[in-house]
Amino acid sequence: MSHAHTPGNGGADHPAAPMVEEITDFEVLEIAVRELAIEHGLFTAEDHRRFTEWAESIGPAAGSRLVAKAWTDPAFKARLLEDAVKACKEIGIDWAEPTGFGTPSDYMNLRVLEDTPTLHHVIVCTLCSCYPRPLLGMSPEWYRTTNYRRRLVRWPRQVLAEFGLILPPEVEVRVEDSNQKCRFMVLPVRPEGTENWTEEQLAEIVTRDCMIGVALPRPGRTADVHPMHKARRPVKGQAHSGEAAHESKK
Amino acid sequence: MPRSKPPEKSQPSAGKARFKVGDRVRVRDLPNLFYSRTQMYVRGIVGTIAACTYQDVIPEDEAFNRDGRLEQYYIVRFRQKDLWPEYPFDNDTLQTESPERWLEPVDG
Amino acid sequence: MAARKELLQQQELIGSLQPALHVPQNWNYEVDGPLFKAYMHTPHDVGGQFDAPALYEEKEEEQWELNTYVTCEVLGWRGIWNSEERRRRADNDLGYALYLGLPYYGRWILAAARMLVDKNHISLTELIEKIAEVKARYAKK
């Protein structure tokens, strides 16, 4: 529960962390809007706490398990491609959480895009940042930038190369621009050298970037390495990057 | 305290889907005013229906919180060379979603 | 005079935030078709626009950013607005300068504030009084 006690969250018994810097305009605005909404009964502090708890529980590990299971169980893979939301339930991911009808922004139309040796999918949302949060957690910051959104649909191979992924011309690159109510996840090809691996071993190499389509899984690659921009006042116990490793920018 | 409001999925069905997988369609170029969920870069371009997905509220209605009318949505596949004439790789494709009213049939 | 100086600096900054058409456009009797279309273009529709390669970095999430995400979603959960009103309309209604200039969740929280006022859930006077009060509350600490 403690995570929800942020400045102004009605917790006089939980003083805010010592302010090393002045509170920013966005922090002020966030507190003002939240407090007014609660005072006017638009939602309750308990609603906010419950949703926060859910938001802090999601992450890319669920997607990794899903892919690993699809790689080892052909019947499960068939069910996953047929009805991904239903298949998610089999690994304990319920898209109806946390409200009973899903989140207001993620809907319940997940589609899994299966890669083959001659077809590679990569996902973007040019209009905003649509992303399968219940399965992969919060989207990475770069996915939300106008830069990625501008360029991926028109220069996908250049952008992929900047992520370190260079694909031969005979592989069809298929960009999925997620602009309505479907949410997408890439099911990569199981790499060579993983024969007889357990699902747990396989899940370790299925990183978030592999499920967006900007990286390919391979033995020994267990983290998405990007520079990290540090927060001024980060979410306590932040685990949004999942198992991804980060290089400090400084 | 307002009650929790599930998305309204109980509206009358939009009826039979006008297009089927494999049909060739052109994205309409309707005027832009206040709001759009149809990207500029696909407008006027011919693609192929890759999937009939779901029925849902019309985007332009939903953006102004009017609901009640549903329509069929599709995933449409385009050749990158059709979208960007300078695109150098013949096989590459792009898919995006579209509601039925933004698509028109292409003969042949 | 310090206040005037600040005002002039602010005006200069606001001027620099305007969409850069690089033509005078402050007394337009007519707007031709292409320019009208450009004006009507929604800022979020960026697919295919030119941009240079950039460093794709991760960002640690600020507490206010998570709170903003949750506030916007809970407002949706309780039927106050739907996601489309936020991400594809309210965000765009901020205009080019703010759409491109604000942090990702800065757009969200401004859109939420605007919506609550537009839909008469709160009054603008309430909101600005509350902002002033919150600022004062944390200034004391």
Question: How confident is the model at residue B85, as a pLDDT?
Answer: 84
> Is B2 at the interface with chain A, CB within 8 A?
yes
pLDDT of residue C26: 72
Q: Is C72 a residue whose pLDDT tops 60?
A: yes
Residue of chain B whose Cα is closest to the Cα of A113: B95
- Closest by alpha carbon to A214, among A157, A154, A151? A157
Q: Tokens for A136?
A: 């992969």
pLDDT given for residue C4 in this prediction: 57
Residue with tokens 């989140």: A103
Query: What is the mean pLDDT of the segment spanning C41-51?
Result: 87
| Max CA separation in chain C (angstroms) | 55
Contact C87, A128 (CB under 8 A): yes
Whole-number pLDDT of residue A135: 97
Q: C104 catalytic, yes or no?
A: yes
Query: Which residues sit opposite B76 in a β-bridge?
Result: B49, B96
- For domain B24-105, give the CATH number: 2.30.30.50
Instruction: Looking at C50-103, list the stretches that DSSP marks H as alpha helix, in order from N- to C-terminal side.
Output: 63-77, 83-84, 91-93, 96-101
Amino acid making up residue C80: I
Among A123, A174, A128, CA closest to C46: A128
- Among candidates A237, A151, A248, A246, which has minimal Cα distance to A207? A246
Residue A21's pLDDT band (boundaries 50, 70, 90)?
low
Give me chain C's average pLDDT, please: 85
Residue A59 has pLDDT above 80, yes or no: yes
Residue A239 has pLDDT above 80, yes or no: no
Q: Which ranges of chain A would DSSP assign to H, the alpha helix?
A: 25-39, 45-55, 61-72, 74-82, 84-90, 133-136, 141-144, 146-152, 156-162, 199-205, 208-212
In this prediction, residue C2 has a pLDDT band, given cuts at 50, 70 and 90, of: low
Q: How close is the nearest chain A Cα to the Cα of B108, in Å?
A: 25
**Residue A37 pLDDT greater than 70, yes or no:** yes
Residues of C with CB under 8 A from a CB of B: 37, 40-42, 45, 47-48, 77-82, 84-85, 88-89, 92
Compute the average pLDDT of residues A142-171. 96
Q: Is A194 exposed, middle or buried (0-12, 13-18, 19+ CB in 10 A)?
A: middle
SS3 C97: helix
> Residue C13: what pLDDT?
66
Contact state of B41 with C85 under an 8 Å Cβ cutoff = no
Sorted by where each begins, the domain ranges of chain B are 24-105
Share of chain A above pLDDT 70, in %: 86
Instruction: Give the largest Cα separation in chain A, rounded.
Output: 62
Q: How far apart are the first and last CA of chain C?
A: 30
ipTM at complex level: 0.91
Active-site annotation holder among C39, C104, C105, C138: C104
Euclidean distance between CA atoms B27 and B43, whole angstroms: 5
Please, are residues A66 and A203 in contact by the beta-carbon 8 Å criterion?
no
Q: Which residues contact A122 (CB under 8 A, 6 or more apart)?
A: A152, A156, A160, A173, A174, A175, A176, A186, A212, A213, A214
- Which of A:170-189 have CB within 8 Å of B? 170, 172-182
Indicate the residue type of B108: G
Q: Does the pLDDT value for residue C119 go beyond 60?
A: yes
Mean per-residue pLDDT, A149-178: 96
| pLDDT tens profile A86-115 | 999 999 999 999 999 999 999 999 999 999
Neighbour tally for A167: CB within 10 Å: 17
Domains and CATH numbers, chain A: 24-57 (no CATH), 60-247 (3.90.330.10)
